[in-house]
């Protein structure tokens, strides 16, 4: 029996299992999620998905629409949209995950994806969307928010720094094959 043929399958199984466990823990953390009424920022509804997928495709080459649909079903409470005149012009979706530290159990979140319609960029909508969703994270005792951003995405880096994120480290192959990106963090508590 050739062990090199078994190893990739085992590795894929372990990664898939870890992802399923992480998602299940995130869904559990959403059970008692408290909401804040926000002007022009709300949570996703199924009717919004075609517009969100269009905005996603406009901003990201290799993203898969089925992942966005999955996140809208699993993490609806932390899948935010921003509207202008009742039209979806952007979205931001998070994943929640438990973490253990010297302080004990903590809730952390990771921004899975964020994008604004190209016709509405540089008008403050991205910042409003981030700030409003982060306010709700604070209310729900999320200790920190992480994200990954391409090192060459100057507008996004500027937005994240203005919002209070700082660079933790540089990593490869997270934002795409052979791409360098920064892992950034915003500490809330």
Band (8; pLDDT cuts 50, 70, 90) = low
Question: 42: which residues sit within 8 A by CB, 6+ positions away?
Answer: 80, 81, 83
Q: Which of 103, 137, 100 is nearest to 165 (CA)?
A: 137
- Quick one: pLDDT at residue 182? 97
Using CB atoms within 10 A of its CB, is residue 113 exposed (0-12), middle (13-18) or buried (19+)? buried
**Does the pLDDT of residue 38 top 60, yes or no?**
yes
Q: What 8-state DSSP symbol labels residue 60?
A: -
CB–CB of 98/25 below 8 Å? Answer: yes
Lowest mean pLDDT among 1-5, 28-32, 45-49, 180-184: 1-5
- Quick one: pLDDT at residue 177? 81
pLDDT per position as a tens digit, 105-127: 899 999 999 999 999 999 999 99
Domains of the chain, by residue range, sit at 3-187
Q: 3-187, what's its fold?
A: Aminopeptidase (3.40.630)
Work out the number of other CB atoms within 10 angstroms of the CB of residue 31: 7
**Does the pLDDT of residue 67 top 90, yes or no?**
no
Measured CA distances, 48 to 43, 79, 113, 181 (Å): 10, 11, 16, 29
Cα distance from N-terminal residue to C-terminal residue, the chain: 52
Q: Which of 125, 57, 127, 54 is nearest to 85 (CA)?
A: 125
- Quick one: pLDDT at residue 7? 59
Tokens of 151: 């090192």
Q: Give the rounded percent of residues in the chain with a pLDDT score beyond 70.
A: 92
- Quick one: pLDDT at residue 5? 52
* Selected residue with higher pLDDT from 130 and 178: 130
pLDDT per position as a tens digit, 135-187: 999 999 999 999 999 999 999 999 999 999 999 999 998 777 888 999 999 99
User: pTM for this structure?
Assistant: 0.84
- Sheet order of strands, 41-43 included: 41-43, 79-84, 87-101, 104-116, 142-150, 180-187, 166-172
State the Cα–Cα distance between residues 3 and 8, nearest whole angstrom.
Answer: 9
């Amino acid at each position: 029996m050739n062990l090199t043929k078994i190893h990739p399958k085992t590795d894929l199984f372990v990664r898939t299992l870890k992802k399923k466990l992480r998602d299940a823990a995130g869904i559990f953390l959403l059970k008692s999620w408290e909401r804040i009424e926000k002007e022009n920022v709300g949570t996703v509804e199924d009717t919004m998905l075609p517009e969100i997928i269009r905005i996603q495709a406009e901003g990201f080459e290799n993203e898969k629409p089925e992942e966005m649909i999955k996140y809208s079903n699993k993490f609806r409470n932390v899948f935010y949209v921003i509207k202008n005149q009742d039209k979806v012009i952007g979205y931001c979706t998070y994943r929640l995950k438990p973490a253990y530290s010297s302080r004990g159990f903590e809730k952390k979140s990771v921004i899975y994806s964020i994008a604004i319609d190209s016709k509405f960029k540089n008008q403050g909508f991205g910042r409003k969307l981030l700030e409003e969703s982060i306010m709700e994270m604070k209310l729900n005792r999320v200790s920190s928010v992480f994200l990954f951003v391409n090192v060459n995405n100057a507008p996004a880096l500027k937005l994240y720094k203005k919002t209070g994120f700082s660079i933790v480290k540089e990593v490869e192959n997270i934002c795409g094959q052979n791409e360098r990106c920064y892992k950034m963090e915003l500490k809330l508590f």
